[in-house]
Amino acid sequence: MDVALTVFRLLPWHDWAALSTFFCGWVGYALFARKQAGIKPSILAATNRIRRQWMLQTTYREVRVIDGVVVQSLSTSPSFFASTTILIIGGLLAVLGSSNASELVREIPFAARTTVLVFDLKIVLMLAIFVYAFFRFTWSMRQYTFGALLVASAPEAEQFQSLALSRDEFADRAGRVVGLAAETFNDGLRAYYFAFAAVSWFLSPLAFMLATGGVIYILYQREFHSDVLVVLNS
């Protein structure tokens, strides 16, 4: 009990309120978006449908070099972001070990005046976000590799008929693997969005909460009401 009280006293109540809003908003939106994707049109549902169609067309092609190249090229995006995230983590660790960083932040107009401990906790939050993003990006890279293996190991086009193999089963399995890779990559990108919201905590807890709400609104609009969604579903 004493330990819990000590931890609670590290931050003022409005900072705890902002942190709660941040984590509840992030987790809540992730669950909401995943559930809504099965109910209403979304980028995730539309692209998953296209991925399945792509894998179904793969079963009719004799030469599948282009399919393997596309899968591998898709993995370059999470690879780039994983490398970038490592650099960001290194920079944040450098800031965490610096004794002058908190003083520089205090000189920013409208920035909240906090203790060094609270400043370090804000940096730790940023570190946790980017560490999570790094693991999601690297897992996405591996999943794209699994998708490339499925494409490479697919039976020849005539074998689907001669051996009575199901094209739909292959398309479902391969499309799902590539779709999971894309979803995992999306989780990493979402972490980047919420990292921008976390930066506003250096200004004030109120700015932190408003930025969290703004990020959720942007993500919702892009996922469920974007122009590209209309094109994908047309």
Q: Per-residue pLDDT for the chain (234 aa), expressed as one digit of tens each?
A: 554 455 566 677 788 898 999 999 999 999 998 888 778 888 888 888 888 898 888 888 777 778 778 888 888 899 999 999 999 999 998 888 776 655 555 556 656 666 777 788 888 999 999 999 999 999 999 999 998 888 888 888 777 777 667 888 888 888 899 999 999 999 999 999 999 999 988 888 898 999 999 999 999 999 988 888 888 887
Q: Which domain holds residue 184?
A: 22-228
C-alpha of 194 from chain center: 10
Q: Report the alpha-carbon distance of residue 213 to residue 216 in Å, rounded.
A: 5
The pLDDT assigned to 220 comes to: 93
| Among 153, 163, 90, CA closest to 127 | 90
In a domain, 145, yes or no: yes
In a domain, 2, yes or no: no
In a domain, 223, yes or no: yes
Find the DSSP H helices in the chain: 2-8, 13-36, 43-58, 65-74, 76-96, 101-106, 116-152, 159-162, 167-199, 205-224, 227-232
In a domain, 4, yes or no: no
Per DSSP, 203 falls in state: T
In a domain, 233, yes or no: no
The token duo for 44 is 């995730």
Number of structural domains (the chain) is 1
In a domain, 7, yes or no: no
